[in-house]
Structure 1
Amino acid sequence: MEELTLTTPALLFSAISLIMLAYTNRFLAYAAVIRNLHAVYQDKKDKSLIQQIKNLKQRINLTRWMQIFGISSLLLCVLTMFLIYVHQQIVAVWVFGLALILLIISLILLIKEIKISSQALMLHISNIEDTIKDA
């Protein structure tokens, strides 16, 4: 087995940081849309908005779990570096493996969230197309 060095888990720092930035941007975008929908719903009480809000709630929950798994992965990368520093190579390898698994879970959740987002957008496009056909 090849030895794990400090640079290996450190390589993931920039990747995980960029992923977390993207997740945070998604979360902030959802928050803005929800605030907007809330204001519209207060004015109209339109039932069609309820489905959009449910969809956004599901997407926010996925994003929250994506962030939790991503942050946990980063934390375990830092722990891996510490374990390498204190010469606990075998434990470091296992902790780093767990960090990779958590990052994989985070990315799988991202794929699921993108699928839900795409379906919601396709529904909006379909509604617009139906309106155009009726006109």
Structure 2
Amino acid sequence: MSLDISTPALLFPAITLLLLAFTNRFVALATLVRGLRVRYKEAPEMRKTIFGQIKNLRLRLLLIRNMQALGIASFFCCVLSMVLMYLGRQVVADYVFGASLFLLLGSLLLSFIETQISTRAINLELRDLEENSSSAS
């Protein structure tokens, strides 16, 4: 199968949107970390709960960093494959484009894992709220 120079270009909008989404996740987590820091200082009785959340956030930040790295590497390989096609190195360009697809798959897999962890964390928060509201009644 031979690709033309427009094929890798088709991934540009998708990869760009993914990187934007990953950046938004990172910004949201950074805001959450800052809020936890304030809660940690203001409510010493919540420190055990906050430490559990911090552990979860560290894992999520690591995943997001790796998602971004794989996405950037995928974007790099797309551009590199286009350059290689332009230079007449079609076989190498095909392999580099294939590598970009696998890197993108890896990034999406990490995104799925991070979403699952995020959902579990939100469910824990909701459960805690439900328990506090039922004990207050």
Q: Same fold (TM over 0.5)?
A: yes
Q: Percent identity?
A: 45
The one-letter amino acid paired with 1:36 is: G
The within-5 A match list for 1:1-135 is: 1=1, 3-45=2-44, 46-134=47-135, 135=137
Q: Which runs of 5+ in 2 are unaligned?
A: none
Provide Cα deviations, 1:85-125, integer angstroms capped at 9, x if missing partner: 00000000000000000000000000000000000000111
**Which whole-Å CA distance do the structure 2 matches of 1:123 and 1:89 have between them?**
51
* Count of residue correspondences: 134
The CA deviation at 1:43 is 2.4
The one-letter amino acid paired with 1:7 is: S
Q: TM-score, normalised by structure 1?
A: 0.96
The CA deviation at 1:22 is 0.2
Moved more, 34-43 or 84-93: 34-43
Moved more, 42-51 or 72-81: 42-51
The CA deviation at 1:40 is 1.5
Q: TM-score, normalised by structure 2?
A: 0.95
The CA deviation at 1:15 is 0.3
Hey, which bits of structure 1, 4+ residues long, moved more than 6 A?
none
Quote the RMSD (CA, aligned, Å).
0.8
**Which whole-Å CA distance do the structure 1 matches of 2:10 and 2:127 have between them?**
43
**Which whole-Å CA distance do the structure 1 matches of 2:114 and 2:31 have between them?**
17
**Which whole-Å CA distance do the structure 1 matches of 2:114 and 2:10 have between them?**
26
Q: Which runs of 5+ in 1 are unaligned?
A: none
